[in-house]
Structures are given as structure tokens and as C-alpha cells.
Chain A
Amino acid sequence: MKRRFLATLILLATLPSALAAAGAPKPFERGSWQKLLHAHAGHPTLVHFWGVTCGPCKVELPQLGRFMKDHPGIDVVTISADLVPNLPEATRSMLDSAGLASAENWIFGDGFAERLRFEIDPAWQGDIPRTMLIARDGIITTIEGSAEIADLNKWSDTQAAATR
């Protein structure tokens, strides 16, 4: 058990830094959403949609960075859902300063944003920020607009409780 814990720690420590070193956020394309859901199946996952030009996002992003630090048991995924030619650099720099460089970061990589949004949630018209909490059992709770960190903590606690 101790060995497992240690190995997991090493994994947690090396994997994110390796991801960060890999550079720009991953392009989020057609089919990426299903892959993402599949990859995180069984793990409590927070998926945060944001964009570099969105005022409320700039306020929320650092709070999310702290949330990730405080909740190593939650997979934190960010998806930049604005679409622009010059976005990857700005996206990365904002993620870095928010303490989210080591999160699993994506960026809309298909000009047909309507289709990408439709795959995620047909009712979503593109308003950001938006947060989807995917529970261990796959149940998704969507928070429109800026999330209250207290609500995220509460959800995280229920996820931790569910494992015991």
C-alpha cells in the first residue's frame, strides 16, 4: 500500500510536469469529448470551459488553480472554448499564471465551434465560464457561469466520501 502511494505520488509529480513541458494545450477536436470522458471514467473530474477574452474567467481561473492544488484526488481539465488564430500562447500564459499549467489543458482546435459544443452539450450556446463536474459514476453536474468554490469543495467532498 505504501509503495502504491509512493508510486502514485511520483506519477502525479512527473506526469503533469511532462504535460506542461509538452507545450501548448491539446487541440480539442471532433470526438475529443468522448475520448476525454472515456479517459476519466471512474475518476471524479472537473472540466472547466473558459476563454482568454472573458472577464469573469480571468477572476475564476486562479481560484480553480488553488482548488486543483487543494484537491489532488480530482482530475482537473480545462478547455479554452474561444476560437482564434493567436490563442495558444495567450491561453498557456493565463493557465500558467493561474497555477493550472499542470492541469489537463485543451483548446478548441476546430473552427466549427458549434459542432464541438454540440458534442459536449447541445443546449450550450457558448457562454463561458462553464464548469462540468463529472462524478465517479458518470453523473454530470453543469455549473453555468462562475462557479462558487464552496460548491466545488462540497462536490469534491461527496466524491471523496463515495470512495470510502
Chain B
Amino acid sequence: MISHKPAARMLLAAAMLAAFPKLARAQMSHQHASEAACEETVLRCASKVTPAFAPDGTLWLAWMAGGQISVASSKDQGKSFSAPVQVTRERLNLDWGPDARPKLAIDAKGDIALAFSIFRDQAFNGQVLTTRSTDGGHSFDPPRPITANNESQRFEAIGFDPAGAVFAVWLDKRNRVPAQRRGEKYDGAGLFFASSKDNGATYSDARMAADNTCECCRLALAFDGAGHPVVVFRNIFEGGVRDHAIVTFTDLATSGELHRVSRDDWQIAACPHHGPSLTISSAGTYHVTWYTNGKARKGLFYARSRDGGKTFSDPLPVGQLNHSPSRPQVIAGPQALAMAWKEFDGQKTSINLMTSHDDGATWSKPTVIADTADSSDHPLLVSDHRQTYLSWMTKADGYHFQAIEGEP
């Protein structure tokens, strides 16, 4: 009996070998599986779409499609768009990580600052590139590195402060090599920042706000009432705990004290690919949402701070844990606070929404405002002076830009 078994196995092996050419062909045809619906540079083919309103109420979109970054604008809240303008010229290996996307910000004059990351080598080292448009988005300068340093950078965030300077913050691996030379272990990446007085044509020398932060999650950036940048990021606390931290800058060149948003106790040596969201309401309250899988709590959470990020409220769980809730976004709109996130039931991804009319003290029951049955970008929230909108790119159903109902 025993001797038959190996023979049978050999036969199986031979059969598998014979089947390999077919297998290889099947694999080839599957290599185009993608998050995008198509390969061109048009909006319909985008995998990531980022919205931003200009102070004059024009909606701008920046998107990644066909290996390029493009922009277009809308004067009618997303009903129709201008002809797209391609920001990048050569085909770059754009950072396609789950938490990467192009960022844009528009100042009062209509000048546009834009930033994005690329993978600049085979080892997937990143580089943050920036560009600007000074002709209302008709053309963009050739993209330039945000810093002269050549170590890996990713996950930039940019915004205009009230005085019209661009503030940029990103994750930067430049301290890794010196640490290793000293024989020290280096975890994560540094949180670096710089600013630009010429709408993003040139940036100041990079400075570090914090070292050894989590290297693979997007950053959340907002400005407080006095125009100081506030950044929420996944930090690496003592013992490899990847919980969230917040820092309010004293000015564009000076970082402030680091505070902890929550003690989730997520000790993990991994890339969660899942960054936080931050908004600051007119009352000056900081509102933060995030994902954790810590010992203390698991899932999506919301908390607020009324003392400039020094202390936060008890984390409020968001979404249904058995529906894989993810990608929480929060925004202080003109009428209310709104929070949106994804849930997945095994077949469909839905976008869920909650609102608060008392600065985050109480929240409405969640409602589903959109869904799709194939891959999709994160749900993003954006406000003009009147209303909040959901911006959501889906592979199957195209780009959604919809006003959130019940608001105002």
C-alpha cells in the first residue's frame, strides 16, 4: 500500500507539470487586475481622486489615472467639469499604496499647490514631488522634489495657511541610515515639514517634528483658528505601540508638543496602511477619527479635544465591527460635523454617514448614502461655504460627488 502512494504523487506532479503552460497563460491574463476601470488618464479611469474647494467656491479634483496626475474644476458643485489638465508629463511610477493620493490646495488668488509621491526605484523608495499652477490650473510647473534629501519619503499632506503660505508635512526615512551606521535599530520614519512662500515653487529646508513614527499611514492636516498647522499621525510609542499622536505647530517653522490621541495599545510591527482624519470646527474643537486593532479597542473610533489636542474625549466606536468598517473621515462643515466611512458585507462596499449638530457631543444614527460592488477609493468629505459633499471614486460606478442630505 505504502509504495503506491509516492507513485500516485509522482503522477500528480507529472500532471501538474504538463498543465503548467496553461497555468502560466492564465496568470498572464490576470496581471491586469486593477483598482481602476480603464487605463487612460481620464477621470473615469482613476483609482484615487482628491477634491478641494477653492476659496471662490470652485471645486477642484486631482486624480491618478493611466500613470498620470490630472486636474479639472467645476463651477457647479461637480455637475460638470472643465477639460482635464495633465499635471505630469512623463509616465511615473506613482505611489499606489492604499493610503497614497495626490493632494492639492488652492489659495485666494486661485493659485494651486499640488503634491504627490512616486516610487523612484525598484526597492519602492518613495519621493515626494510638488508643483504649482499660477494661471488658474491651465498649466503646472514641472514637478520637483520637496527636499534635496534622497532617502525615502511618502504620505505628504499640504495646505495653505491663512496668510497664504503652503505648509507641507510628510514621512521621511532620512534618519535610518545614520542610525544603522551607529549600530542602532531604526523603526518607522520621521515626520518632516517645510513651507513655501511662493505657492509651492520652492520649499524651505525640511525640519523634523517627530522621529520614529509609523511609516505607512497617511497624515491628517488641518489649521486651527489662529492658522497654526495641526497634524495627526500614527506614531510608534514605547514598545512598538502604533497609536495616534497629535502636534499643533507654533508657527510654520516650529513644531509643538506631541500629545497622544488615544491609548489603544496596538503593538504591531506592520504597515496598517490606514491613517487618521482630522478637522477643526469653528469652536476650535479638534475632531479626530482613526482605525486601530489594539488591545484596548478594535475598529474605528472618534474623539474630540477642546484644549488644543492636549486631552481627548473617550473614544467613540464607529461602524459595525462585523462589517469590516474602514477609512473614517470627519469634516466640520458649515452646518454640521459629518463623518463617513466604508463598510463591507461580503458583496458590497457601502458608505455610511453620521452627523452631529452639537460639535461632536452626540451623533445621528448611521445611514448608508452610497454603495458599490467592486473596488473603490476612500470616501472623502469636502465642504464649500454652504454644504458638505461626499467625494468617492468607484471602479464599477464611476466618480460620485454628492451633497450630503439633511444638510443644511
Which chain A residues have a beta carbon within 8 Å of chain B's beta carbons?
Answer: 1, 3-4, 6-8, 10-11, 14-15, 18, 21-27, 29, 51-57, 82-86, 88, 90, 93, 108-115, 117-118, 122-123, 125-130, 144-146
Q: Which residues of A contact B177 (CB under 8 A)?
A: none
Is the beta-carbon distance between B3 and A3 smaller than 8 angstroms?
yes
Q: Which residues of A contact B271 (CB under 8 A)?
A: 51, 53-57, 127-128
Which residues from chain A contact B32 at a C-beta distance below 8 Å? 85
- Please tell me if the beta carbons of B3 and A4 are within 8 angstroms of each other in the complex: yes
A11 touches B30 (CB 8 A): no
The reply to whether A11 and B13 contact each other, CB–CB distance below 8 Å, is: yes
Q: Which residues of B approach A to under 8 Å, CB–CB?
A: 2-3, 5-7, 9-10, 13, 16-17, 20, 23-24, 26-28, 30-36, 93, 96-98, 119, 122, 124, 215-216, 267-274, 291, 293, 298, 321-322, 324, 326, 342, 344, 346-347, 349, 374-375, 395
Docked CA distance A22–B20 (Å): 6
A-B contacts, 12 of them at CB < 8 A, read A22-B27, A23-B24, A51-B271, A55-B215, A83-B96, A109-B31, A109-B33, A111-B374, A125-B291, A125-B326, A127-B274, A144-B268
Q: Inside 8 A of B347's CB, which chain A residues have their CB?
A: 115
**How far is B10's CA from A8's CA once the two chains are assembled, in angstroms?**
8
Task: Evaluate contact between B324 and A86: CB separation under 8 angstroms.
Answer: no
A15's contact among B13, B35, B119, by CB below 8 Å, is which?
B13
CB distance from B117 to the nearest CB of A (A): 11
Closest CB-CB distance, A118 to chain B, in whole Å? Answer: 6
B3 touches A127 (CB 8 A): no
Query: Closest 4 CB pairs between A and B?
Result: A7-B6, A145-B270, A145-B268, A27-B30
Q: Is the CB of B270 within 8 A of A127?
A: yes
Known: A125-B324, A127-B293; 4 extra A-B contacts, CB below 8 A, are A18-B17, A24-B28, A53-B216, A127-B274
List chain A residues, Cβ under 8 A from B267. 145
Q: Which residue of B lies closest to A59 (CB)?
A: B269
Could you tell me the distance between the alpha carbons of A93 and B122 in the complex, rounded to whole angstroms? 10
Please state if B344 and A118 are interface contacts (CB–CB under 8 Å). yes
B270 touches which one: A1, A24, A26, A144 (CB < 8 A)? A144
Contact check, B9 vs A11: say whether CB atoms are below 8 A apart: yes
- Chain B residues whose CB sits within 8 angstroms of the CB of A111 once the complex forms: 33-36, 374-375, 395
| Contact among A53, A108, A145 for B124, CB-based, below 8 A | A53
A14 to B374, CA, bound (A): 39
| Cα-based distance from A23 to B293 in the complex (angstroms) | 36
List B contacts of A4 (CB < 8 A): 2-3, 5-6
Q: Looking at B9, B35, B271, B274, which has the most chain A CB atoms within 10 Å of its CB?
A: B271
